[in-house]
């Protein structure tokens, strides 16, 4: 995020390794895309005498969800070039939990690290978000990002009757659409500067697919509409005010395949003119791991207790930030606790209706 935005928004994932522990589905997405990643790597024809290779993981959070993929990527390069030096650049916005990230990558936290099983690999950490240039011009060989670039650089407006752009209408929707277009092009232009000629990008982004499906809206309860209804219930009960209801607007935009593709296909677009070309784009639905596990164990209480933390891991900071800072801290904490408890009670009562399937566009881009 830009420095101005960071002063306005508190967008943080759960810290201390909790994000990766609770978002198993995000890791499943990366693992499913790993063959595509390795195929893009193979297309680069890394030389056996190549001295170095730089890979970036942008919007990495605590780094846990990509560990397995990064290790496979390293081994694939080193099969061709055994002596090559590999820089792994982990980047996220300044408010990210970098202590947790460092612990994860160095194998000091909850996860085993690939550093224990590889050599000539050098992890680097950057607090520049993907809305800025992270690396010098023409120095990046391969850029990667998963489940991150739906976060906007700024919130274009508050929504009057929803919490997410998937429920927006009219001018409010158009505001989000315009911001999404601007931000996507900005992200790509920075990557175009960083990438070497022949460099690759593999970006796994939330989307609205060809059938209108998106995160939490594949079957059963629409997750975002449920967020909005529960938050409205709190307003109707006098637990929050109307301005707090409206301020709880997630600064996100889910592109369609056409929107992702447009700047990479339009010859007059600055992104195309900067040398980026779309090689492949396809949509994937990754099943909610907690809902899938419930089919086997049939324990509604367990499902609810496992499911809610994965939701909290990426949106609790936004809900909390919507509450008036003049409220006592304990009062705000109680409201948030009660909000997620009400969701958890709902899931436990009707577990078969709830699931957070991931809907992504898997995109491969090359710089010519």
- Nearest alpha carbon to residue 92 among 35, 118, 131: 131
* pLDDT tier at 17, thresholds 50, 70, 90: very low
Task: Report the relative pairing of strands 255-256 and 276-286 from DSSP bridges.
Answer: unpaired
State the Cα–Cα distance between residues 169 and 173, nearest whole angstrom: 5
Mean pLDDT of the chain: 94
Strand partners, 153: none
The 8-class DSSP code of residue 89 comes to: E
CA R_g for the chain: 21
State the Cα–Cα distance between residues 9 and 318, nearest whole angstrom: 8
pLDDT digits (tens, 9 = 90+) for 267-290: 999 999 999 999 999 999 999 999
Neighbouring CB atoms inside 10 A of 15's CB total 16
Could you tell me if 260 and 360 are in contact, meaning their C-beta atoms sit under 8 angstroms apart?
Answer: no
Copy the structure tokens of residue 354: 């709830």
- Which pLDDT score is estimated for 25? 87
pLDDT digits (tens, 9 = 90+) for 171-221: 999 999 999 999 999 999 999 999 999 999 999 999 999 999 999 999 999
pLDDT digits (tens, 9 = 90+) for 310-343: 999 899 999 999 999 999 999 999 999 999 999 9
The 8-class DSSP code of residue 106 comes to: T
Domain boundaries, the chain: 3-210+251-287+356-367
pLDDT digits (tens, 9 = 90+) for 79-129: 999 999 999 999 999 999 999 999 999 999 888 999 999 999 999 999 999
- Which pLDDT score is estimated for 231? 98
Specify the CATH superfamily of domain 3-210+251-287+356-367. Answer: Vaccinia Virus protein VP39 (3.40.50.150)
pLDDT digits (tens, 9 = 90+) for 32-86: 999 999 999 999 989 999 999 999 999 999 999 999 999 999 999 999 999 999 9
Could you tell me if 13 and 311 are in contact, meaning their C-beta atoms sit under 8 angstroms apart?
Answer: no
The residue whose two tokens read 């970006």 is 203
Could you tell me if 317 and 12 are in contact, meaning their C-beta atoms sit under 8 angstroms apart?
Answer: yes
For every residue of 234-283, DSSP letters joined together read: HHHTTSS-HHHHHH----B--EEHHHHHHHHH-TTSHHHHTTEEEEEEEE
* pLDDT tier at 365, thresholds 50, 70, 90: very high
Classify 4 as helix, strand or coil. helix
State the Cα–Cα distance between residues 321 and 278, nearest whole angstrom: 37
For every residue of 114-175, DSSP letters joined together read: GGGT-SSEEEEEE---TTS--S-TT-EEEEEEES-TTB-SS-----SS-SSGGG--HHHHHH
- Which pLDDT score is estimated for 5? 39
The dihedral through the CA atoms of 246, 250, 251, 253 has a sign that is negative
Q: What percent of the chain has pLDDT over 70?
A: 94
- Which pLDDT score is estimated for 11? 52
Task: Report the relative pairing of strands 255-256 and 195-208 from DSSP bridges.
Answer: parallel
Query: Count of residues for the chain?
Result: 368
């Amino acid at each position: 995020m830009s420095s101005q935005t960071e002063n306005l928004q508190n967008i943080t994932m759960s810290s201390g390794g909790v994000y990766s522990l609770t978002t198993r589905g995000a890791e499943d997405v990366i693992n499913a895309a790993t063959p595509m990643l390795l195929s893009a790597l193979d297309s680069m024809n890394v030389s056996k005498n190549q001295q170095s290779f730089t890979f970036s993981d942008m919007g990495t959070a605590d780094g846990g969800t990509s560990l397995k993929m990064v290790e496979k990527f390293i081994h694939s390069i080193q099969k061709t070039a055994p002596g090559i030096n590999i820089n792994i650049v982990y980047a996220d916005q300044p408010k990210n939990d970098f202590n947790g990230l460092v612990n994860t990558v160095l194998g000091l936290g909850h996860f085993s690290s690939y550093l224990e099983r590889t050599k000539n690999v050098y992890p680097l950490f950057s607090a520049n978000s993907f809305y800025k240039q992270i690396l010098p011009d023409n120095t990046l060989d391969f850029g990667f990002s998963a489940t991150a670039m739906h976060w906007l650089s700024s919130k274009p407006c508050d929504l009057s009757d929803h919490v997410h752009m998937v429920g927006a209408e009219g001018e409010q929707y158009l505001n989000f659409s315009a911001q999404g277009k601007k931000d996507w092009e900005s992200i790509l232009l920075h990557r175009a500067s960083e990438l070497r000629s022949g460099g690759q990008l593999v970006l796994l982004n939330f989307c609205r697919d060809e059938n209108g499906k998106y995160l939490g809206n594949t079957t059963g309860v629409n997750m975002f509409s449920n967020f909005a209804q529960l938050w409205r219930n709190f307003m109707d009960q006098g637990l929050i005010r109307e301005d707090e209801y409206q301020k709880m607007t997630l600064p996100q935009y889910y592109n369609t395949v056409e929107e992702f593709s447009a700047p990479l296909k339009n010859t007059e677009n600055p992104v195309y003119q900067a040398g980026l070309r779309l090689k492949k784009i396809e949509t994937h639905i990754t099943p909610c791991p907690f809902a899938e596990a419930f089919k086997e164990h049939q324990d509604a209480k367990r499902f609810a207790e496992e499911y809610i933390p994965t939701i909290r891991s990426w949106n609790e900071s936004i809900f909390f930030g919507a509450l008036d800072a003049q409220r006592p801290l304990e009062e705000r904490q109680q409201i948030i606790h009660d909000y997620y408890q009400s969701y958890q009670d709902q899931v436990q009562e009707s577990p078969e209706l709830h699931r957070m399937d991931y809907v992504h566009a898997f995109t491969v881009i090359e710089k010519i």
